[in-house]
Amino acid sequence: MEPAHVLRRPYVARLLAGTMIARLPTGMAPVALLLLVADQGGALSTAALLCAAYGLASALGQPALGRLVDRHGQTAVTCAATLCTSIALLTLPHLDAADQKVLFAGAVLLAGAATPPMEANLRALWPSVLTDPAQRRAALALDTGSQGLIFIAGPPLVAALTAVTGPSTALSATAVLGLAGAAVVLTSAPSRRWRPVATAPSGFLGPLRSPGLAALFIALTGTGVALGAHTVWAVSLAERTQTAALSGLVPAALSVGSLIGGALYGRRAWPGSITVQLLISSGAFAAGWLSLLAHPGALAAIGVSALPGLFLTALVTSSFLTVDAHAPDGTVTEAYAWLIAAIGIGQAAGTALAGPLAAHTQLGAGLPAAGALFTLAVLLPARRRIHVPGPPVRRGRHRRVPAHAARPA
pLDDT in tens, 58-91: 888 999 999 899 888 899 999 999 999 999 999 9
User: Per-residue pLDDT tens for 7-22?
Assistant: 888 999 999 999 999 9
d(CA 380, CA 219): 10
Residue 266 lies in a domain: yes
Give first-to-last CA distance, the chain, whole Å: 29
Residues in the chain: 409
pTM, 2 dp: 0.78
Please compute the mean of the pLDDT values over residues 99-115 and round it to a whole number. 93
Same domain, 146 and 273: no
Which of 155, 171, 196 is where one domain is finished? 196
pLDDT at residue 238, as a whole number: 80
Classify 199 as helix, strand or coil: coil
Same domain, 22 and 64: yes
pLDDT at residue 214, as a whole number: 93
Residue 201 lies in a domain: no
Residue 5 lies in a domain: yes
Confidence band of 347 (pLDDT split at 50, 70, 90) = confident
User: Per-residue pLDDT tens for 284-333?
Assistant: 999 999 999 988 888 898 999 999 999 998 999 899 889 988 888 788 88
Same domain, 64 and 184: yes
Same domain, 65 and 98: yes
Same domain, 92 and 63: yes
User: Per-residue pLDDT tens for 232-263?
Assistant: 888 788 878 887 778 778 888 888 898 888 88
pLDDT at residue 150, as a whole number: 83
Q: State the Cα torsion 380-386-387-388 to the nearest 10°.
A: -130
Same domain, 91 and 213: no
CA distances from 27 to 16, 32, 154, 159, 199 (A): 17, 9, 5, 12, 36
CA distances from 248 to 126, 140, 152, 262, 384 (A): 32, 26, 8, 21, 40
pLDDT at residue 408, as a whole number: 35
Residue 65 lies in a domain: yes
d(CA 19, CA 178): 9
- CATH value at residue 116: 1.20.1250.20
Please compute the mean of the pLDDT values over residues 349-363 and round it to a whole number. 76
Confidence band of 94 (pLDDT split at 50, 70, 90) = very high
Please compute the mean of the pLDDT values over residues 321-347 and round it to a whole number. 87
Per the prediction, the chain carries an average pLDDT of 84
CA pseudo-torsion sign 338, 263, 188, 134: negative
Give the structural domain span for 372.
206-409
Confidence band of 390 (pLDDT split at 50, 70, 90) = low
How far is CA 332 from its chain centroid?
16
Confidence band of 407 (pLDDT split at 50, 70, 90) = very low
Which of 175, 196, 217 is where one domain is finished? 196
Confidence band of 228 (pLDDT split at 50, 70, 90) = confident
Q: How many domains does the chain have?
A: 2
Which of 196, 228, 254 is where one domain is finished? 196
Residue 225 lies in a domain: yes
